Chains A and B, each alone.
Chain A
C-alpha cells in the first residue's frame, strides 16, 4: 500500500493532504492509498480523509495532541511496517521535512525530498526536485522496495473528494517519550490568508523605505487585493516585519498565481523562495535590479508614487 500522512489544522485536512493523494494516485502502484491521521480529537479530519483515500487509519490519542518529530516518526514507521507500505508520502511542510528523515533511517529507506514530480518506472521511483536555492531542477531515482517521499506544497493539484467514504480503522501505537519540550508558542497573526496558500502575494523589500512605508504600500495593496504579505530578509532583519512573513531560502517558499514585489532588488536567496510564482510583478526604481530579469510585468519608478496610484486605480 501507499501510505500518506494526513496534515491537518483546526479539524480539517490541509490542502497539502489533497496534493499528497494526487501524487500517490499518479504512481499507480499496487494496494491503494491509505491515509494515516495522527492527532487528538480528529474524527472530522478522518471523515474528510475517508473521501479521498481508499482506507483511513486513525490514531486518536491525547498523546498525539501536539506534533513532535520523534513521536511522529515512530508512529509512521510503525504503521508502515505493520501495513507493509512500500511508499510513504509526507507533506513537504517544515514539520514533514523534519520528521521524514527519521522515518527513512528507521526503515532503512531512501528519502526523496520536496519533490515536484513523481512516477514509478518499472518499480523504480523517479522524481524531480529543486536544488541550488531552487535554481536547478534535479532528477533523482530510488530503487524499491521502500521509499519515503516529501511532496512540495503546491506542486501537485489537489485531489477532488469523492461522494462515498472509505472505511476507517482505529490503530493503537506504541509511542516514544517526548524529549523536545515545547515551553511556549508564538502564533502567527491570523486573520489574513496564509502566505503559502494565497493566490496573490504582495511582498516588500528595503526599497519601501521604512516600517511605515511597508504598512502603507505593501499592506495597503495587499488589503486591496485580499493578498498575503511577504517580506525580504533585509526587512525582517530591520524589524519592520515579523519573520513569519519572510520569503526566501531561510523563510518561506511560495508559488502564488501572482507575486508582486515592491522595492525588492532580487537577491538570489529571496528569488529562491518565489521564482516559481506563475506571474511575477516588480516595482522598483532601479531598472537594473535583478528582479526585473524574472518579472512578467514591471514598473521602473518610485514605489511611493506608483503603489498608491495602483491602489487608487484598483479602487475605481
Chain B
C-alpha cells in the first residue's frame, strides 16, 4: 500500500513573526517541517515497522524552498517525495483538490495530514481531501493501529476523547501524543540525498484559490505589565488581589 504524508514548511516556533510588504516575511526566517507533519511521517514509518507493507511518499505543494522540509521527511525514512512547486497561496479547499488528484494517481490508501498547521492555523486540509476522495476521516488522532485494512485509534473530540475504527482508504489528521518523531540520523540524511523528489507544476492540476488574502497585521494588545516583586509573598499577594478586584475588576 502507499501512504501519502503531507508536508508543510512553517516558521520555526522560536522565530518571531515579521510582516513585510503586506505579507508575513518567511524568506529571512528559519523554516522547518511543521511539527504536526512530523507526527504523520513518524506514524507512517511506525506502521511499516510494525509490519505494514507500505511505500511512504512525502508530498509538498509549496515554493521551491520547501524542498528542505521534504528532505527532512526523506531523512526520517520516507521513500520518495513529490513537490508541486508553486508560489501561489492556495487555501485549504483549493489545495485539497491537488492532494486528491495526486492521491488518485499514486493509488494511495492512507493520507496523513497535520491536525492544525502552524502557518495558516487551518484544520481544513485533511477533511477537504477526504471529501474529494469520498474517503472517511479521523481527525486529531493521538493513537493509531492498523490491522489488515482496518484502522483503530483514539482521537480528540469536542469534549473528551473517543476510540474509533474505520477502514482504508482513509485520511488521518495528526495530533500531539500520536508518537515521538525520530531525529534523522546522519547515515539516513546521507541516504536521503539520493532519494527521488519528483517535481511538478501547479498548472497541471487546474486549481485556483477560493479565498483572497487582503492583508496581514501583527496585532499586539497593549498589556499593562504591572509586575510586582514577590520577595514578601503576603504583601505581593495582597496587592495583586486588590489590583484584580479594584482596577481590572475580574474577581469579586
Interface residues of A (CB under 8 A from B): 9, 67, 69-70, 73, 93-95, 97-102, 104-106, 109-114, 126, 129-142, 179-188, 199-200, 225, 233, 243-244, 249-250, 257-258, 267-269, 275-276, 278-283, 287, 292-302, 305-306, 308-310, 312-314
Contact = CB atoms under 8 A, between A and B. Distances in A.
Contacts of A282: 227
Contact of B131 (A106, A139, A183, A296): A106
A110 B130 contact: no
Contacts of B231: 301
Given A97-B123, A104-B93, A297-B240, A112 B211 contact: yes
Interface of A is mostly: mixed
Given A97-B123, A136-B17, A310-B237, A102 B130 contact: yes
B244 A258 contact: yes
A120 B195 CA distance: 49
22 contacts: A94-B123, A94-B156, A100-B124, A101-B126, A101-B128, A102-B127, A102-B130, A110-B91, A111-B210, A112-B211, A113-B123, A131-B121, A132-B11, A137-B219, A185-B162, A243-B177, A257-B250, A298-B227, A300-B229, A300-B230, A313-B237, A314-B241
A140 B159 contact: no
B227 A97 contact: no
Given A101-B124, A111-B91, A184 B159 contact: no
Interface string B159-183: 1111111110000000111000000
B136 A180 contact: yes
B49 interface: no
B218 A141 contact: no
B234 A309 contact: yes
B19 interface: yes
Interface string B113-138: 00110111111111110111000111
B163 A136 contact: no
Contacts of A114: 121
Contact of B223 (A94, A188, A295): A295
Contacts of A139: 213-217
Given A141-B212, A187-B159, A296 B223 contact: yes
Contact of A310 (B166, B229, B240): B240
Given A137-B217, A243-B156, A295-B227, A183 B244 contact: no
A66 B183 CA distance: 40
Contacts of B241: 310, 313-314
A103 to B, nearest CB: 8
A153 to B, nearest CB: 11
Contacts of A104: 93, 124, 128, 210
A110 B211 contact: yes
Contacts of B244: 258, 279, 281, 297
Contacts of A268: 13-14
A132 B127 CA distance: 20
Contact of A101 (B131, B156, B216): B131
Contact of A133 (B121, B128, B211): B121
B160 A181 contact: no
Query: Interface centre among A95, A129, A183, A267, by most B CB within 10 Å?
Result: A183
Given A102-B128, A105-B131, A299-B228, 7 more contacts: A101-B92, A105-B96, A185-B160, A258-B250, A279-B250, A297-B240, A297-B248
Contacts of B166: 179-181
A142 B211 contact: yes
B165 A113 contact: no
Contact of A287 (B128, B158, B162, B227): B227
Contacts of A135: 17, 218
Contacts of A305: 230, 233
A278 B248 CA distance: 10
Nearest to B228: A299
Contact of B118 (A94, A186, A249, A279): A249
Nearest to B10: A132
B210 A142 contact: yes
Nearest to B100: A105
B96 to A, nearest CB: 7
A9 B158 CA distance: 11
A83 B167 CA distance: 34
Contacts of B226: 296-298
A85 to B, nearest CB: 17
Contacts of B198: none
B88 interface: no
B238 interface: yes
A138 B216 contact: yes
A244 B157 CA distance: 10
Interface in B199-252: 210-219, 221, 223-231, 233-234, 236-238, 240-241, 243-244, 248, 250-251
